[in-house]
Structure 1
Amino acid sequence: MMRFYCDVHRKRDDSGYRITYTMDGENFRYTDSPLEIPVGPGDQLFVDTIPIIQTDGFIELLRRGVEVYYLRRPTLIEEMRRRLGIPKSGRGDVKVLMHIEDKWFRRVSEDFLVMRRKVSVFRCMDRINRRLGKQVRAASQTEQEGLRRLLRQVEEEKEILAKMISDEAGERYPIFKEITEELGITGDNHVLAREALAELLTYVDFSKSFVRVQGYLRLYRRRLYDMRYGHEARKALERLTMSIIARNNPRAREQEDVLMRIWLTIRGETQRPAGIEAQQ
């Protein structure tokens, strides 16, 4: 088994990404594609980030038997760089990666990479939707008509994307259907809620204790600057809770209750002895 460390950064001319990689911190090589890194079955590849545009390349590495890990907390790069006194550069950031403990890396799967790519498109559409909503409220009455038509088109696209993500999650996460039934979001009117659930299953590690999951979503008071806080995942939990309680601005306790139901459903499934079916 061989370990490779990679820094992935955008090119200066914005034409794509450049990968700097090494095995020993002394000899460095460069490539534009993860498929050109000389890794084989059983090798481990540690990267600071995985750009959405390079998802297919990293999926192919996984299919070749390579273990891929990405940094869960990117701010550690800057912190460790200051601590070690290493200047910012492709090579420098690779050396920094080599000093970061393994616990800060997450091993990725094909399911995670596929779902992350689909969710990123939905989040982009959601941002456009919210921005248009603000513009409609700020526009004059004559300007609002055109903006409202555009807003309806975006909302329709969101629904289509949400259904795609929900269907994909149903295929990739065996527990997905059981959780939707537990939460009562199986109908056609709950497609956006199922998309939010798919986001949570993609980004939140429900194998951790409930306190750890709470901390990641900041459902109790923590330090002001907690870099492990999952902002986008928390937004997904808020959307899911709003759908379940049928009103806006859910309280933290209501979000916690929904999260607990998800966590208990998953724990009940994963801790059930082999051969014993779920209780009806």
Structure 2
Amino acid sequence: MIAVVTYYLSQHPSIVAFRWSHTQSWGSTWSFLVTSIALYLIISSSIHLFLCLLFRRGRPVSLGPIPALHSLSMIVVSAVIFTGIFLSAAAEIKETRWFWRRSKTPFQWLLCFPLGTRPSGRVFFWSYIFYLSRFLHMFRTIFSIFRTRKLTFFHLFNNSILTVMSFLWLEFSQSFQVLAILFTTLVYAAVYGYRFWTAIGLRSACFPFVLNCQILLLGCNVVCHVGVLMLHFMKGGCNGIGAWVLNSVLNGFILLLFLKFYVQNRRKNGNGNGKQTPVIGEIHKDKGL
């Protein structure tokens, strides 16, 4: 069974021979990226405006089992991507380690691709699948609008930027993406598992589960970004460092927004009014990721 899973997730010819190409890979052009994100913003805003005009009282619209099925599908997708890129990274390390310098370790390779790395092979196949899964993830915004009648800048910005960053990982063979995908898919599997758990009527956690997951993910990303920067200057350079800089800036902006609203929420709770800001309130209700 293990051998079958390993073959289909890391040794299959279509995975080994994958190559990121604007002519062969669906959704790989800049025009597609810009158009899809623009449509996401327009559709989300239009649905929000329409529901606000149609249902002024703000009553939630029942979606039946659709959110639960979406969460279940995201659990499966995240688990498959995590397993696939883990096995693929292990295979790449085993096959290419022979020409590494003695001072290089597998962890250093995960953080810092050698200069000249091209977006082809096993790990980039799963990076491509992760990029495509971002569009499936966007449906969560629609569910949130129907349920809460709220649409925040943080929610739209976070989903759009994460899609852009996953595109940049492939376009510029950016370092650090393997660990980023491993961390993200692991957290997503836990978060969507929790959402599925609550969607079918089971008891929710007594603490903000999704909020804690997002803090953990942001913390891991910050530590890894520091590691990439150190390796870039100490080991002769990391591939895709320009895209990494943009990635870091965008991640920093997301972190600042997150901390801003988190601090505002803590202050309001400290004053005893019991209210939450829109973004943190949304995260506490498991819509932050």
Compute the TM-score of the two structures, normalised by the length of structure 1. 0.26
Higher strand proportion: 1
Higher helix proportion: 2
Which protein, 1 or 2, shows the higher relative CO under an 8 Å CA cutoff with sep ≥ 6? 2
Compute the TM-score of the two structures, normalised by the length of structure 2. 0.25
